[in-house]
Amino acid sequence: MTSFSAVDVISTKRDGGVLSDEAISWLFDAYMKGDVADEQMSALLMAVFFNGMAPGELRTWTQRMIDSGERLDLSGLTRPTVDKHSTGGVGDKISLILAPLVAACGAAVPQLSGRGLGHTGGTLDKLETIPGWRAELSNDEIRAQLENVGAVICAAGQGLAPVDRRLYALRDVTGTVESIPLISSSIMSKKIAEGTSSLVLDVKVGRGAFIKDPGRARELAETMVALGTAHGVKTVAQLTNMDAPLGRAVGNAMEVTESVEVLKGAGPHDVRELTLGLARIMVELAGLDVDPEEKLDDGSAFDVYGQMIRAQGGDSDATLATAKFHETIVAPRAGVVQQVDALRVGVAAWRLGAGRARKEDPVSAAAGVLCLVREGDVVAANEPIFELHADDMSHIVLGRTAIESALVIGDDTVVPLPMLIERIG
């Protein structure tokens, strides 16, 4: 391989140049061997943050991230494989419903998920509130569960795109997280290495989303769709609204309970709408001629959910943790709910103990916020609008402060924005 130097690679990108395939290959190999220091890689990430990447450059960058580890081989399954990835939102419990629903339609759904950070919740944190449930599975266990049950939600193995963990840790402490090429390569390297044949991306946009500008969200979606397609994965993105929390429950055990309600044919309308919207795309990509709504309403999806939880050691019938302390927040005046700010509700849930500031922080199973009203609702003065749940009063105080301005009441009629904004791909 042609010899490069870290300084030359950094300088090329700093000056707006395009890194060659050989330079990127050398860079990742040298970085994983310790020949490129963290401070040098941090400098390069900052250069990418400011100057972006050309499409071909990003494809190679992503491929080399994939090549840094193993790939999960799902080719032996008798079911078509399809997965979903969300860019993260407040009250986003869709995976818990979607994976068993699409499995009930005949697909294999390998949901390799993560834990929450900041105001957005993590799928594994939610499921770990179920007694006995385990997130860590071997590749053989994943394949067996996909064949026998059709759905698995578990932690990504340490062998999938291992360089991504190191790069993300640097991005987190250097202010370079919000880069579309770096976000795209981080997400797609893991999803491609996961071995799925097709993928739906739920790209959130709005007040509670990682990206709040529709134009940037669309750019992110288009970039990830292009990467997936270039690497042989049928990929579609769906832009979805994250101005308000998704559903009523924001908090780990509370969201599991709400997910089960939807699987039983009840639950909030917006959760059901988004689940079915994504399920229809996934079933389409998997080449299955099945209506997901029928599988949701006839109990098939709920049956698969129970099988999925039990296959990973969980008690699907167990009573989940409830908080010791509760406080009700009431409307300060009568009127029409103009907005329920997803970001502020998410921060409140975090302050109540449902989220973490650092990856190693513990989270409370029972803490969270129950949203009692939606945008457009008419409320009376002193009507309950939020319930705060926490394990102690100190967290209740923190949550109360965080949620003070989450809800705006006015006199104008409000028509909430649609949940499904735009399909890309």
169 and 249 in a single domain? The answer is yes
Which range (46-55, 66-75, 167-176, 363-372) has the least confidence? 167-176
259 and 337 in a single domain? The answer is no
The stretch 240-256 carries a mean pLDDT of 97
Residue ending a domain, among 250, 279, 311, is 311
pLDDT higher than 90, residue 121? no
Residue ending a domain, among 311, 335, 366, is 311
Separation CA 366–CA 289 (nearest Å): 39
pLDDT, tens digit, 9 for 90 and up, residues 400-410: 999 999 999 99
Q: Within a domain: residue 268?
A: yes
Share of the chain above pLDDT 70, in %: 99
pLDDT, tens digit, 9 for 90 and up, residues 311-348: 999 999 999 999 999 999 999 999 999 999 999 999 99
Which range (41-50, 109-118, 139-148) has the least confidence? 109-118
353 and 242 in a single domain? The answer is no
Residue 162 confidence (pLDDT): 93
Residue labelled with tokens 């009573």: 319
The DSSP secondary-structure symbol of 243 reads S
Q: Within a domain: residue 64?
A: no
Residue 173 — very low, low, confident or very high, per pLDDT cuts 50/70/90? confident
Residue ending a domain, among 52, 72, 90, is 52
The stretch 128-154 carries a mean pLDDT of 97
Residue 120 confidence (pLDDT): 72
- Please say whether the beta carbons of 318 and 329 come within 8 A: no
Domain that holds residue 405: 325-410
Separation CA 16–CA 51 (nearest Å): 6
Q: Within a domain: residue 277?
A: yes
Residue 27 CB partners (closer than 8 Å, separation 6+): 4, 6, 9, 19, 36, 44, 64
Q: Within a domain: residue 74?
A: no
Active site residues: 85, 164, 171, 186, 190
Domains contained in the chain, number: 3
297 and 154 in a single domain? The answer is yes
272 and 304 in a single domain? The answer is yes
103 and 235 in a single domain? The answer is yes
CA distances from 373 to 8, 155, 314, 344 (A): 56, 34, 32, 15
Separation CA 198–CA 83 (nearest Å): 6
Residue 346 confidence (pLDDT): 95
User: E strands within 95-233?
Assistant: 109-113, 151-155, 198-205
Paired tokens of 425: 């791909």
| 139-155 exposure pattern, b = at least 16 Cβ within 10 A, e = fewer | eeebbebbeebbbbbbe
Residue 117 confidence (pLDDT): 65
Q: Within a domain: residue 168?
A: yes
Could you tell me the CATH number of the domain that includes residue 357? 3.90.1170.30
Q: What is the DSSP string of 192-210?
A: HHTT-SEEEEEEEESTTSS
Q: Within a domain: residue 318?
A: no
Could you tell me the CATH number of the domain that includes residue 29? 1.20.970.10
Q: What is the DSSP string of 41-104?
A: HHHHHHHHHHH---HHHHHHHHHHHHHTS-----TT-SSPBEEEEE---TT--HHHHHHHHHHH
The number of residues making up the chain comes to 425
Residue 345 confidence (pLDDT): 97
Could you tell me the CATH number of the domain that includes residue 281? 3.40.1030.10
Residue 141 CB partners (closer than 8 Å, separation 6+): none
Share of the chain above pLDDT 90, in %: 91
97 and 168 in a single domain? The answer is yes
Q: What is the mean pLDDT of the chain?
A: 95
Residue 406 confidence (pLDDT): 97
The DSSP secondary-structure symbol of 129 reads T
pLDDT higher than 70, residue 300? yes
Name residue 117's beta-bridge partners.
Answer: 120
pLDDT higher than 90, residue 118? no
pLDDT higher than 60, residue 198? yes
197 and 245 in a single domain? The answer is yes
214 and 140 in a single domain? The answer is yes
355 and 264 in a single domain? The answer is no
156 and 202 in a single domain? The answer is yes
Q: Within a domain: residue 60?
A: no
Residue 409 confidence (pLDDT): 97
Residue 358 — very low, low, confident or very high, per pLDDT cuts 50/70/90? confident
Residue 162 CB partners (closer than 8 Å, separation 6+): 32, 68, 69
Q: Within a domain: residue 70?
A: no
Which range (96-105, 313-322, 358-367) has the least confidence? 358-367
Separation CA 260–CA 257 (nearest Å): 5
Residue 217 confidence (pLDDT): 96
404 and 300 in a single domain? The answer is no
Closest CA to 225 of 59, 350, 384, 367: 59
